[in-house]
A and B are shown apart, each in its own frame.
Chain A
Amino acid sequence: MKWILLSIVVAATTASDLLQSYQMKRGGEQSAGARGLMQLLRRISRNRYLILSIVCLAFSFFSFMALIQTAPLSFAVPASAGSFIVETILAKVLLKEHISARRGFGAFLVLCGIVLLAR
């Protein structure tokens, strides 16, 4: 059960993050002040991809809630980062982000850490 819940968390998070990053970069820079957040809410309500990303996030969240109820916090949170490597690769492939050797190696170290943390 633990692993089924974790798989749902990982798949839904990956889909949500890619949609969010893609859409937020298209619209230009966003501030997070009180006015910025209101503007952000309006922006979300008008963009169906952002709405879809929130639906994915809701799936991920409710699975995470069930996971965290039984699994230790120090396992559930790091293990949910299984989406990490998939997302970095997809950021390069789908979003055409430039991954420098240094950034790639840093991401790899983080992944190794997550693997150890999740044991």
Chain B
Amino acid sequence: MRFKGKVFRAYALLAVFLALRAFGNLSLAWGTKHLSSALAANPLTYVRALADPFVALAIAMLIVALLVRLALLSLADLSFVLPMTAVGYAISALFGKVFLHEDVSPLRWLGVALILGGVAMVGTTSGKTPSEMDTTE
């Protein structure tokens, strides 16, 4: 019973994290692409970029996403969390096409399919390496 609740919590945190990061990245891409000067060239541009509402919103969402991910890491292995959060790459490809009208080639969609297949496979394994602490509980 306890184990089941833990698995549910891990997947719930994962869903919240994926949503926050996908929309955060979209907002960040939208915001930075509409800035007038290049970011890499000048540190001051970063300060100005923070005043952009889309960039500010993106940073807020990504900070909460980071905290949710930290909580997730306390529940599950890094080698479980990494592939599962890879669904985010598929979501980004989709968002890039739909919202930013990027050209996504058939080869890229094949990549998306492979990622989802890999994620499904990892999802059927147990989320955490049993530690000594878990067995004595």
Chain A contact residues: over half helix, strand or loop, or mixed? helix
Task: For the complex, count residues of B whose C-beta is within 8 A of A.
Answer: 68
Across-interface contacts of B102 in A (CB, < 8 A): 72-74
Known A24-B73, A25-B73: A107·B83 in contact at CB below 8 Å: yes
Q: Interface size of A by Cβ–Cβ distance < 8 Å?
A: 62
Q: Dominant SS at the B interface?
A: helix
CB-CB contacts below 8 Å: B64-102 with A: 66-75, 77-83, 86, 88-89, 92-93, 95-97, 100, 102
Please determine whether A66 and B75 come into contact, CB atoms closer than 8 angstroms.
Answer: no
CB-based contact B77/A65 at 8 Å: no
User: B-contacting residues of A (Cβ < 8 Å)?
Assistant: 1, 5, 17-18, 20-21, 24-25, 27-32, 36-37, 40-41, 44, 57, 61-62, 65-66, 68-70, 72-74, 76-78, 81, 84, 87-88, 91-92, 95-100, 102-103, 105-119
